[in-house]
Structure 1
Amino acid sequence: MSRTSLRLASVLSMTGLALTALVTVGGFAEAQNPAETTVPRSVMSEAMRVCAGYIGAEVPEDLQIVGSEKEAYVREFSQGDLVYINRGRDANLQTGAEYQIIRNIGPVRDLQDRQRVLGTLVQELGVLRITEVRDTSSTGEITLICTGTVNLGDVLIPYERRPIPKVRTYRPLSVVGAPTGRATGQILASQMSREQLVRNDVVYVNIGADNGIKVGDYLTVYRPLASDPVSRFRDDRVGQRRSNGFPSDRFRTRDNSSIASSNKGYPQVAERTPRSELPRTLVGEIIIIRTEANTAVGVLTRTTREAVIGDRVELQ
C-alpha cells in the first residue's frame, strides 16, 4: 500500500473514532441502529457530588469560619483563600483533614400542606482542608468552591465522599406512561432556585427514605393531562373573530353555517371523559443521589420538555 493510501486510512480511522465519541456524548447513543441502548455513564461530576445541597435537619453551627487573612478588604472568599476556624485542638481538628463548607438557608414547606415543614435547605458551598491547628483555632485553605462564595459564619462538617450512581442503559423515553402504584411526590425546589428545569439540573423532592427511596432509584416526572404550566390571562380573547364571508348581523350567521355551528367543545368533552382517565404526560426521569427521612436529592437524567417546580414524581 502506498504512503498516500496509508495516510488516508489513518485519517478515516481517526475520523471514525471522533464520530463514535460524538454520538455517545451525554449518554445518548445515536448509532446506526436507532433501537440501540446507551452506554452507562456517571450521573454527576465531582463538583456536583460536593455542591448538590439537600433538605434535612438543620446543621449545628459549632464549627464555623470566623476570619480570614483578607477580611480587612474582602468579606467573601473563594478557592485558594486561607480562612480561620473557631476551633482547634480542643475539638480534635487535625492537619490535612477535609471539611465541607455548608450554609443553613431556612425551612422548606410542603407544596400541598404549607403547615408541614419538611426540613431546612442546606446549601453546600465547597471543601476546605486544614493547614494549621492551634489550641483554640485553626487555619484552612478552600480547595474547592461551588457556585457563589464563602462567607464568615459558614459552617464546617467532616467531608464524606458520597457514592456516584451510574445512569442505566435505556431506550427512548415515551411521552405517556401508566402509573406504577408506588410512592409519589412532587419536585419541591431546585439548586440555584431555578423554576424551569432541564437535563443535569439538581432537584429536591418531598419523598425520601421513609417512603422507600434510596440512592440509585429512578423517579418518573409527570403531569396529569392538561395541567401543563401555561399562563392564561383575562384578555386572551379580546380580538374579534375573523370572518371570511358575509355574515348577517341580524341572524348572527358566520360563513352561512349557523345551522351547523356549535359552541360545544372542550368543556363538554372533558365532562364526559375526565382528564384523569386519560394517559398522563411524562416529563422526564430523575435518578436519586442522596436521601433524607422525608426528602431526597436527584438529578434529571433526561426530559421530554422543561420540568418545573411542582411537577409530580413517582418511584419506578
Structure 2
Amino acid sequence: MNLKSFHRTIKLSLPALALSLLTSVLYAQDLPGRVSAVPGEKQFKIAERNNLYCAGYVQSSPIDTSSRLVGAVEEQDGWLYSQNNFVYINLGASNGVKPGDMFSVVRPRGQVKTRWTTKGKLGFYVQEVGTVEIVRVKSDVSVARVKTSCDNFLLGDLVRPFERRESPLFSKRPAMDLFSDPSGKATGRLFMARDNQEVLGREQIIYVDLGAEDNVKVGDYLTIFRPLGKGNLFINDEDESVSARDEGFQSFVYRGGRFSNQAGRKSGETAKGRVVTTEKAKEGRPATLRKVVGEAVILNVKEKTATAVIVRTAQEIHTGDFVEVQ
C-alpha cells in the first residue's frame, strides 16, 4: 500500500471509528438507565414445574373416584405410561369434555400413619402423577395425551379437572435467624416428605400437620426447628468422656496434677460437692430454647395439613422436626 492509499484508508475509517467510540460512550452512560428503566425488579417464583404441580398432598375429605384412566393405546406391551403416550379416560362428550381440555392425574396412596403429630388421623396421601390433554372425544370416553409426567401413569389413576396454581414469589428477607424466639403462632410437625425421604435439604417437598383449621395459607413462611439438644441422628447417652474420679493423668516423676481437662466441675463454693454432669447442668434452663435448622414456604393447604418446600437450611432437616408459622 502506497502513502496515498494509506491516507485515504485512514480518512475513510475516522468517521466509523468516531461513531464506534461515541456509541460505546453512550452505551456505558445508558447502562444504568436501561437497567432502572425496567419497572420493578424481576421476581422469581419459589416453586415451579415439579415442585408446584407434582408435590402431592394429604387430605381428609373423600376424593371422587368416578373419573379415571381406563386404557392405553400401547397397553398390550406394558402397564406403565409416561409423557406423549396416549391413554383413555372414562369421560366423553356426554360429560362435556372437549378437545384441548386439561386434566390432572392423581393416585391416592393410603392413610397416613405417623408418630409425628398430635392430631390423630390426618387423612390419606395423594400422589400427583401428572397431566393429560384431550385430543379426541367420543361419546363416553376420550383419548388423552400425557402432557407432563411426574411419575409413571397406571391404569386406574384418577383424573380431575386441571387447576392452575400460582407459586409464592421470592422476596428480600433478612438472613435466617438461627437464634429466633418463638413467634407464638401455630406450631406443628414435619411428619412426612415426598418420596419417603427422611433427611432433607433445600428445594425438597415436605408435609406438615398445619392446615386450614390452623389458619395457614399459601405463601406463609415456616421456621423449622427442634428442641435444643434433640434430634441427633446418633445415640447420645449424655455421659461425659471422663469421670471426675478418674486419675492417672500426671506423670510419675513431675506429678503435675491429677485432674483431667475433660471432666466436669465439682459443685459447691469450695468444689467439695458432687460432679456437675451435663444433664444436671441443663436443669432449670428455659424450656423454649431451640435449634433453628431451616425455613419452608407453604405451597398448598388442605384441611389438616399443608404441603411446603424447603427454601433455607442451616443443616440437615428430618421428619419429626417442628415447624412454626413466622
- TM-score, normalising length from structure 2? 0.76
Say which one has the larger Rg: 2
For the pair 1:90 / 2:100, whether they are aligned, the reply is: no
Provide the residue aligned with 2:106 in structure 1.
Answer: 102
Provide the residue aligned with 2:138 in structure 1.
Answer: 134
**What letter corresponds to residue 172 of structure 1 in structure 2?**
A
Q: 1:64-83 residue pairs with structure 2 within 5 A?
A: 64-83=68-87
**What letter corresponds to residue 179 of structure 1 in structure 2?**
P
Deviation for aligned residue 1:189:
0.9
Aligned residue for 2:112, secondary structure, equals strand
Seq. identity, %:
28
- CA–CA distance in structure 1, aligned partners of residues 241 and 279 of structure 2: 20
Q: 1:163-202 residue pairs with structure 2 within 5 A?
A: 163-202=166-205
- CA–CA distance in structure 2, aligned partners of residues 72 and 255 of structure 1: 83
| Residue of 285, 291, 294 corresponding to 1:274 | 285
Provide the residue aligned with 1:307 in structure 2.
Answer: 317
Aligned residue for 1:182, secondary structure, equals coil
- CA–CA distance in structure 1, aligned partners of residues 248 and 148 of structure 2: 65
Aligned length: 282
Distance 1:113 1:213, change over 3 A: closer
Provide the residue aligned with 1:264 in structure 2.
Answer: 276
- CA–CA distance in structure 1, aligned partners of residues 219 and 192 of structure 2: 20
Over aligned residues, Cα RMSD in angstroms? 3.5
**Does the Cα contact within 8 Å between 1:39 and 1:169 map onto a contact in 2?**
no
**Does the Cα contact within 8 Å between 2:265 and 2:276 map onto a contact in 1?**
no
Higher strand proportion, which one? 1
Q: 1:1-316 residue pairs with structure 2 within 5 A?
A: 40-56=43-59, 57-109=61-113, 111-112=115-116, 116-146=120-150, 148-232=151-235, 245-246=250-251, 256-257=258-259, 262=266, 263-271=275-283, 273-274=284-285, 276-277=287-288, 279-316=289-326
Aligned residue for 2:282, secondary structure, equals helix
Deviation for aligned residue 1:265:
2.3
**Does the Cα contact within 8 Å between 2:210 and 2:304 map onto a contact in 1?**
yes
**For each residue in 1:14-60, what CA deviation from the matched residue of structure 2 results, as whole angstroms up to 9, or x when unmatched?**
xx9xxxxxxxxxxxxxxxxxxxxx98521011332211111113422
- CA–CA distance in structure 2, aligned partners of residues 308 and 242 of structure 1: 41
- CA–CA distance in structure 2, aligned partners of residues 195 and 304 of structure 1: 16
Structure 2 segments unaligned to the other structure (5+ residues): 1-13, 32-40, 267-274
Distance 1:239 1:182, change over 3 A: closer
Deviation for aligned residue 1:242:
10
Structure 1 segments unaligned to the other structure (5+ residues): 17-37, 248-252
Aligned residue for 1:276, secondary structure, equals coil
- CA–CA distance in structure 2, aligned partners of residues 212 and 124 of structure 1: 24
- CA–CA distance in structure 2, aligned partners of residues 63 and 254 of structure 1: 83
**Does the Cα contact within 8 Å between 1:107 and 1:119 map onto a contact in 2?**
yes
Distance 1:221 1:246, change over 3 A: same
- CA–CA distance in structure 2, aligned partners of residues 255 and 98 of structure 1: 80
Deviation for aligned residue 1:244:
5.1
- CA–CA distance in structure 1, aligned partners of residues 162 and 42 of structure 2: 31
Distance 1:92 1:190, change over 3 A: same
Provide the residue aligned with 2:269 in structure 1.
Answer: none
**For each residue in 1:240-282, what CA deviation from the matched residue of structure 2 results, as whole angstroms up to 9, or x when unmatched?**
99965458xxxxx9962389975432021012x33615x3111
Range with bigger deviation, 149-158 or 57-66: 57-66
**Does the Cα contact within 8 Å between 1:284 and 1:302 map onto a contact in 2?**
yes
**Does the Cα contact within 8 Å between 1:128 and 1:142 map onto a contact in 2?**
yes
**Does the Cα contact within 8 Å between 2:92 and 2:141 map onto a contact in 1?**
yes
- TM-score, normalising length from structure 1? 0.78
Aligned residue for 2:50, secondary structure, equals helix
- CA–CA distance in structure 2, aligned partners of residues 138 and 182 of structure 1: 48
Provide the residue aligned with 1:22 in structure 2.
Answer: none
Q: Which contiguous aligned blocks of 4+ residues in structure 1 show a shift greater than 6 angstroms? A: 236-243, 258-261
